[in-house]
Amino acid sequence: ISQFDWEDPLASKNLLTEEELAISETAERYSQDHLLPRVLQAYRDEHYDAQILREMGELGLLGATIEGYGCAGVSTVAGGLITRAVERVDSGYRSGMSVQSSLVMGGIDDFGSAEQKDRYLPEMARGTLIGAFGLTEPNHGSDPGSMESVARPHPQKTGYYLLSGSKTWITNSPIADVLLVWAKLEETGKIRGFLVNRKDCPAGTLETPAIKNKNGLRASITGMIHLADCPVPKENMFPDVEGLKGPFSCLNSARYGIALGTMGALEDCIARARTYALERIQFKGNPIAKYQLVQKKLADASTDAAYGVLAAIQVGRLKDEGKATPEMISMIKRQNCDKALQNARVLQEIFGGNAVSDEYGIGRHVANLFVTQTYEGQSDIHSLILGRAITGLQAFV
Ligand code: TGC
Ligand code: FAD
């Protein structure tokens, strides 16, 4: 009879290939040995060390699902196992990686010209060129289709556009070398993707101030993008894709990564709460882990984490077979972020007053998981995407 493994309750490892297990092991080892030791101070200081992307690049963890261009070309599930390993340490570290890998490299791989792929992907895979993804605006978050950012033909320079507008809450923007900005072409009113190179922007046309004093995701860097008639050559525009399916296709991959990533954060909360409950003695010499109410909290969280991992593996397999729908990804993104947040909040109770100390790590996960439930489509927005698919009626407007 097999033994129950509280760290993998439904034996999800049985569904993984040898290669996926090896990639997961590499990502877990790197995350535990090199990210965990620096996260507490980084979170306190609200500091993101860009060296992290170079370290990830050396290990082949960036853009890992992309074929060629120095990328590893692994399965969708393997890509998700990388995000799970990194987010076991901190959602902010996973965030910086997701933007680089899924949103910017993924966008270039899906929609870029041959020149754009050759120019950006190898350096981004090494982590020596940093990307940011600008979709959200101050007045348009859940509804990016109403964006105001605009690209108009340069009045003096043929073959150039002038980009204007503001993006906000943009991960990596203050340190990004290349910013994938979504803006409407003035001539057509259609959304297009532009690769804005910081070093090519004349003074005063691009600013990327950091947003400071966040109360979550403090180990990542977030900022704005202000464009004031910034000249961008036409070759920097994605040639063929127009409309929201451009940015949303990139989001499909990133949302998938969040679905498995948040399970890593929840699993870390479970491990921390279990250890604490076994060591903390209250009433007649008993560890609090002996009490039924504490055990129920651990059982609920373990069940949700195990189900969440299995569902993500299933959707990952379908994605590689070309059979995953955006609604499936909405379902696992919504469910896993919600369950990770709800359970992390409950597990926090196990630590009593010590939950308030950042040394115990649990409060950091709770604050981070609120953000994961909010970005890349807030959970209620994913409910409406699912509701539309179930009823045929759209409830956004
Ligand atoms: P809707 O009419 O539904 O769709 C417009 C067009 O887009 C296509 N489409 C998709 N294509 C591929 N994949 C998807 N998931 C797609 N979803 C939609 C759709 O087929 C249609 O194409 P076409 O050819 O007919 O034009 O558009 P809507 O305006 O009604 O959209 C509503 C809604 C709610 C679905 C959408 O606006 C939404 O998902 N809102 C959430 C916004 C969001 O997710 N923002 C993310 C910003 S990036 C970010 O948060 C990064 S955080 C990174 C980190 O730090 O980890
Ligand atoms: P709003 O759209 O104003 O929504 C507020 C509330 O209203 C939500 O609860 C929402 O569900 C609800 N709501 C809105 N419309 C409806 C409706 N029709 N029916 C019912 N409820 C509704 N964006 C990027 O482009 N790139 C990034 O790299 C990026 N990184 C981020 C990093 C961080 C740390 C954060 C916090 C955000 C980031 N975002 C990024 C932005 C993120 O995607 C948006 O915050 C998110 O899409 C929600 O938009 P909003 O904040 O404008 O909220």
Q: Which ligand has the nearest atom to the CA of 102?
A: 1
Identify the pLDDT of residue 330: 98
pLDDT in tens, 233-264: 999 999 999 999 999 999 999 999 999 999 99
Best residue for ligand 2 mutational test, from 93, 147, 169 (most atoms within 8 Å of Cβ): 169
Element (H, E) at 67: strand 67-68
pLDDT in tens, 188-211: 999 999 999 999 999 999 999 999
Identify the pLDDT of residue 1: 72
Q: What's the rounded Cα separation, in Å, for the pair 77 and 11?
A: 15
Q: How many helices (H) and strands (E) does the chain have?
A: 12, 9
Angle at 302 between CA 36 and CA 37, to 5 degrees: 5
- What the block records as the tokens of 47 is 């500091």
Identify the pLDDT of residue 213: 98
Determine whether 359 is an active site residue.
no
Under 8 Å between Cβ of 253 and 312: no
Of 134, 136, 106, whose CA–CA distance to 120 is shortest? 106
For the CA atoms of 225, 88, 322, 240, what is the dihedral angle to 10 degrees? Answer: 10
Residue bearing tokens 């981004």: 124
User: Given a cut of 80, is residue 107 above it in pLDDT?
Assistant: yes
Bridge pairing between strands 71-72 and 67-68:
antiparallel
The burial class, CB within 10 Å (0-12 / 13-18 / 19+), for 233 is middle
Residue bearing tokens 């097999």: 2
- What the block records as the tokens of 126 is 């090494």
Element (H, E) at 151: strand 150-153
Identify the pLDDT of residue 23: 98
Which amino acids bring their CB within 6 angstroms of ligand 1? 95, 98-99, 133, 135-136, 142-145, 171, 243-245, 248-249, 251-252, 326, 375-377, 381, 385, 396
Of 259, 258, 278, whose CA–CA distance to 6 is shortest? 278
The burial class, CB within 10 Å (0-12 / 13-18 / 19+), for 154 is middle
pLDDT in tens, 157-198: 999 999 999 999 999 999 999 999 999 999 999 999 999 999
Of 15, 7, 30, 45, whose CA–CA distance to 83 is shortest? 30
Q: Which ligand has the nearest atom to the CA of 140?
A: 2
**Cβ count within 10 A of residue 280:** 16
Best residue for ligand 1 mutational test, from 86, 245, 379 (most atoms within 8 Å of Cβ): 245
User: Given a cut of 80, is residue 383 above it in pLDDT?
Assistant: yes
What average pLDDT does the chain have? 97
Looking at residues 265-274, what average pLDDT do you find?
Answer: 98
What is the ipTM metric for this complex?
Answer: 0.98
pTM of the shown model: 0.98
Which amino acids bring their CB within 6 angstroms of ligand 2? 99, 133-136, 141-142, 169-171, 217, 222, 371, 374-376, 378, 380-381, 384, 396
Q: What's the rounded Cα separation, in Å, for the pair 103 and 304?
A: 27
Q: Which of 28, 137, 267, 376 is catalytic?
A: 376
CA 139–ligand 1 middle distance (angstroms)? 16
The percent of residues in the chain predicted with pLDDT above 70, rounded, is 100
**DSSP conformational letter for 172:** T
Q: What's the rounded Cα separation, in Å, for the pair 285 and 282?
A: 6
Looking at residues 293-315, what average pLDDT do you find?
Answer: 98
User: Given a cut of 90, is residue 2 above it in pLDDT?
Assistant: no
Give Rg (Cα) of the chain: 21
Q: What's the rounded Cα separation, in Å, for the pair 337 and 369?
A: 7
- Widest CA span of the chain, in angstroms? 82
Q: What's the rounded Cα separation, in Å, for the pair 94 and 170?
A: 14
pLDDT in tens, 325-369: 999 999 999 999 999 999 999 999 999 999 999 999 999 999 999
Q: What's the rounded Cα separation, in Å, for the pair 260 and 178?
A: 27
